[in-house]
Chains A and B, each alone.
Chain A
C-alpha cells in the first residue's frame, strides 16, 4: 500500500475565503482522486486529478469552485474556493498504486481534511 498524508488535517475558515488542501504520497501512483464526505453521508467523488493536464470533474463539481493541481505523480492539491457553510465537510484524497493488476487494484485514502466554514 501507499503512505498518504494530507495537510491541513483540519481547519476552520470564514465564508468567502479559500483553502488549499495538499495530498502527498510516498511513491508514484497512477491515479489520484479527491472525495468529499459530508456529515453522516458516504463519499462523493469530486474529480480525478490528472498529472500534467486538467482534472476530470464529476457532475455537480466545477473547476472554478474546486481547482485541482497535480504537478507530478506523488502530489496533488485541491482548493475549495469562495467557501460557504455548505462546503463544511471532510475532504479526502485517494490513490491507486502503480503496477497493480486489474483484478486486485484498489485505492487507499489519506487521513482526510476536516473543514468547517463559519
Chain B
C-alpha cells in the first residue's frame, strides 16, 4: 500500500468554481502534512502546511482528519492561475523523510 494516495484527476473546473482535493495516508503516526503546488516543468513549491486545527490562506483552506487519515485542500473562487498539479506530502514522527502523493492535476478554464 502506498504511503500517500491522491486522485490524479484531472479536475476540470470553470473560473470561479470551488474545488476540493483529498489525500489519504497510511501511517497513523504521521506527524506533519503539507500541500505543494507544481507548475508544468517547474519545481514543487510549498502552498501551505496543514495543522490539526485546519488553516486558511486566502482562497485556500486545508484540513486534517486524523481519525480517517486524510487531508484536504479546498480552493474557492478558482482562478486560471490555479491550474497546476497539487501534491500532498506527509512526514513521519521522526521527520527524516517526506512521502509525496502522485499529485492531483487541476485545470481551471475560462
Contact = CB atoms under 8 A, between A and B. Distances in A.
Given A31-B96, A42-B87, A109 B101 contact: no
A49 B45 CA distance: 21
Given A105-B32, A106-B49, A109-B45, A41 B95 contact: no
A68 interface: no
Contacts of B42: 111-112
A44 to B, nearest CB: 8
Interface string A97-118: 0000011111111111010000
Contacts of A48: 96-97
Contact of A41 (B89, B91, B102): B102
Interface residues of A, number: 21
A33 interface: yes
A114 B91 CA distance: 27
A45 B19 CA distance: 29
A33 B32 CA distance: 17
Contacts of A92: 43-44
Interface of B: 31-32, 34, 41-46, 49, 51, 87, 89, 91, 95-98, 100-103
14 contacts: A41-B102, A42-B101, A43-B87, A43-B100, A92-B43, A94-B98, A102-B32, A103-B32, A104-B49, A105-B32, A105-B91, A106-B32, A106-B46, A109-B44
Top-6 shortest CB links A-B: A109-B43, A42-B102, A43-B100, A112-B43, A42-B103, A42-B100
